Amino acid sequence: MLSRLTWTALLGLGLAACSGGVPVDPGTGGSGATTSAATTGGGSGGDGPMPLDGGVKSFAHLGPGGEILGVGVVVPVKSFENVPAFDPAFETTVGIEMPESVRDKTFIQLLRINWISGGHGPAPYGKPHFDLHFYRGTMDEVSAITCFDTSPFPAAILASGYETPSTCVSGMGYHAWPSVDIVGNTFSASIILGYAAQKMVFIEPMITRELFLGRKSFELNIPRPASAGGAQTLYPSHLTATYAPVGDTYSFEFDHFETID
């Protein structure tokens, strides 16, 4: 069993907070969509990485009756290219919120990204990679997360196939690693689960820079614990990462929502 550790230095994300929903053309099958766009700052120009506060958008796909079919973000791949080891774009502690129309209805409410140029422990995660933390909570609530509580987490909020939550970062929470990663000592894209204050607080797609720059679509299943430790909400069980050559973007969409708690 891994003991809880405190990890004191990780980078934050330079995404401007967004609010409001802007309707766009309905998708196929009669579903609609709303978006929130992070546009503060603009592009960087030249061949360098695009600041993450320029062009990132959150979105929601809704069914004809208003049911939530998908929630996620679109990120320019240029944001992940030619990134220096300590890119200022990833050093702030703000984030991008999901569209107002769905923000308080699902577990997926706020995104912050970390660029880990030298990787981190445990051993499988030594490759340069990006951590996409999708939080349940407001920016203030997430920023207030601490690592002081070291009591065991309730079994109901822990997912099968995962290590005991261990490494903790203030403003993030404790991380539970997939056991298959630890046993196999390798990864390219995995779902990490996060905990704080006796509840689940984030779902984190952790993705190597190499995979991002391969510009290929991929999918990840998301384990569902018996409880998330909070009020009733919609919890996703699947993530689709879709690469679009037109625009050179990745869309990260959570779907297959089910009620939890």
The single-letter code of the amino acid at 161 is G
Residue of 96, 94, 114, 90 whose CA lies nearest to 38: 96
* Exposed e or buried b per residue across 165-180, where buried means at least 16 C-beta atoms within 10 angstroms of its C-beta: bbbbbbbbbbbbbbee
The pLDDT assigned to 55 comes to 67
User: What sign does the CA torsion over 88, 90, 93, 98 have?
Assistant: positive
pLDDT tens across 67-79, in order? 999 999 999 998 7
The pLDDT assigned to 54 comes to 53
CB contact at 8 A, 93 and 10: no
Residue with tokens 């990679």: 129
Long-range contacts of 88-91 (CB under 8 A, 24+ apart): 88/14, 89/13, 89/14, 89/49, 89/51, 89/52, 89/53, 90/11, 90/12, 90/13, 90/14, 90/52, 90/114, 90/115, 91/11, 91/12, 91/14
The pLDDT assigned to 1 comes to 35
SS (H, E, C) 26-84: CCHHHCEEEEEEECCCCCCCCCCCCCCCCCEEEEEEECCCCCEEEEEEEEEHHHHCCCC
CB contact at 8 A, 174 and 152: no
- pLDDT tens-digit profile, the chain (261 residues): 333 333 332 233 333 223 233 322 223 333 466 655 432 222 333 333 444 545 679 999 999 999 999 999 999 998 788 777 776 556 555 589 999 999 999 999 999 988 888 899 999 999 999 999 999 999 999 999 999 999 999 999 999 999 999 999 999 999 999 999 999 999 999 999 999 999 999 999 999 999 999 999 999 999 999 999 999 999 999 999 999 999 999 999 999 999 998
Residue with tokens 């991380």: 175
Cβ neighbours around 232 below 10 Å, total: 9
**What Cα–Cα distance (Å) separates residue 41 from each residue in 15, 45, 55, 251?**
10, 12, 9, 21
Q: Calculate the dihedral angle through the C-alpha atoms of 131, 242, 185, 173, rounding to the nearest 10 degrees.
A: 30
For residue 90, which phi and psi values (nearest 5 degrees)? -110, 15
CB contact at 8 A, 250 and 74: yes
The single-letter code of the amino acid at 208 is T
Q: Helix (H, G, I), strand (E, B), or coil: what is residue 188? A: coil
Contacts of residue 50, defined as CB under 8 A and 6 or more positions apart, other chains included, come to 43, 44, 76, 78, 79
